[in-house]
Amino acid sequence: MSHTQKNKSYFLTITTEAQADLYLQLSRLEEAGFPALQAIELLLKTNQKLKKQILQFQRFVKLGHTIADSGYRAGVFSPFDKNLLQAAEASGNMGTIYKQLAKHYEQKVKRAKKIKSKYYLPFIILTIALFVQPLPAFILNEINLLDYASLSFGRLIKVVLLVYITFKLPFWLTHGKGQFLGLKNLVYLLQLKLPLVSTWIIKRQLNVFFRHLGLLLAAGLPMIDALPKAVNTMTNPGLRAQFNSVILTIQKGEALADALVNVPVLDYQTIQIVMAAEKSGKLAKTILHQVKIEQEEIDLKEDLLTEWIPRIFNLLVSLWVAASIITGNSIATGVSI
pLDDT digits (tens, 9 = 90+) for 128-176: 888 887 888 888 888 899 999 888 898 889 988 988 888 888 888 887 7
Secondary structure, 3-state, 271-328: HHHHHHHHHHCCHHHHHHHHHHHHHHHHHHHHHHHHHHHHHHHHHHHHHHHHHHHHHC
DSSP 235: S
What is the pLDDT, as a whole number, of residue 332?
Answer: 43
User: Which pLDDT does position 5 carry in this prediction?
Assistant: 43
3-state secondary structure of 258: helix
- DSSP letter, residue 49: G
With a cut of 50, which residues of the chain have pLDDT below it? 1-9, 330-337
pLDDT, residue 10, reads 62
CA dihedral 141, 147, 153, 157 (to 10 degrees): -140
CB atoms within 10 A of CB 141: 7
- The whole-number pLDDT of residue 286 equals 95
Q: For residues 288 and 169, what is the distance between their CA atoms, to the nearest angstrom? A: 32
What's residue 314's pLDDT? 77
d(CA 26, CA 36): 9
